[in-house]
Amino acid sequence: MAKIFCVANQKGGVGKTTTTVNLAAGLAKIGQRVLMIDLDPQGNATMGSGVDKRKLEHTIYDVLLESATVAQTRVKSEKLIKAGCSYDIVGANRELTGAEVELVTLERREKRLKQALVAVDQDYDFILIDCPPSLSMLTLNGLCCANGVIVPMQCEYFALEGLTDLVNTIKQVHANLNKDLVIIGLLRVMFDPRITLQQQVSEQLTAHFGGKVFNTVIPRNVRLAEAPSYGLPGVVFDPSSKGAQAFVLFAQELAARVWAK
Ligand code: ATP
Ligand code: MG
């Protein structure tokens, strides 16, 4: 059975998509079968995996509205295949914005993704879901089907404040909709050890959340920021960069945590 993880944080621009695509590539690199689902109308994870979001026959929108199955929707990226580091992709584009409204009147609206994934569960070791920067119906669909949430965060003052809302939402989903859901861990991203405040927040995080904080820290690294414009995860774009190496280590740490259970 595939392990299903949401990469979520309702704060914008904290590194969710960068984490999703690089973790997908890192897991593929260590031999795991991975499906990456883009649940954000921005479609950044789709483009960042080398798939043109404007040219997709089907997207996650069709899956949520049950007009296509995951098997009909998933695609591969030529660039990733060439690099020998491939994962399957269920893409998204602006069309997905409409799903939010259309789902409201439908039955089982928060369980659509969960049901759609049953049919492909056996095909993968990991299913990773890139969530939008909101606690919306889309994110709720992600949380309802996931075994756990990976929370990327920058070590800044307001980061901790935002975390309370996310933790409360996860608690509510756990209590009412998905008993499996847990926070797998908090991932410190875009970390700059020269900044004292970041060190302090990082220490507060580990003091407060202990073992829930991943050991791996993702540094601020320009190669990770450049990679999307080439339609590649940093892990594939420049494997020797510090950022790419950190994400491969993170993939190993996550896999080890999962296998230890
Ligand atoms: P949104 O909330 O809009 O979906 P997000 O949480 O998915 O955003 P990203 O798109 O992953 O965040 O990252 C925001 C910006 O920061 C991007 O330009 C990305 O390239 C850059 N970035 C992410 N991680 C790093 C890093 N470790 N080092 C340098 N730049 C980074
Ligand atoms: Mg994003």
Residue 237 clears pLDDT 90, i.e. is over it:
yes
Q: Is 88 helix (H, G, I), strand (E, B) or coil?
A: strand
Measuring CA to CA, which residue among 181, 179, 145, 155 is closest to residue 166?
181
Question: Can you tell me which atom of ligand 1 is nearest the CA of 19?
Answer: 11
Instruction: State the DSSP H helix or E strand holding residue 126, giving kind and residue range, or none if neither.
Output: strand 126-130
Neighbours of 64 (CB within 10 A): 24
Kindly report, residue by residue over 50-77, the tens digit of the pLDDT.
999 999 999 999 999 999 999 999 999 9
Mean pLDDT of 12-27: 97
Residue 88 CB burial class (10 angstroms; 0-12, 13-18, ≥19): buried
Q: Which residues pair with 178 in a beta bridge?
A: none
Alpha carbon of residue 182 to chain centroid: 15
Mean pLDDT of 121-130: 98
- Residue to substitute in 6, 16, 18 for testing ligand 1 pocket (most ligand atoms within 8 angstroms of CB): 18
Report CA(47)–ligand 1 centroid distance (Å): 13
Cβ proximity of 195 and 218 under 8 Å: no
The dihedral of CA 20, 168, 218, 210: what is its sign? negative
Kindly report, residue by residue over 27-38, the tens digit of the pLDDT.
999 999 999 999
Residue 261 clears pLDDT 80, i.e. is over it:
no
Q: Which residues line ligand 1 (CB under 6 A)?
A: 12-18, 40, 42, 44, 133, 189-190, 218, 220-221, 224-225, 228, 243
CATH 3.40.50.300 fits 3-259, yes or no: yes
Question: Can you tell me which atom of ligand 1 is nearest the CA of 132?
Answer: 4
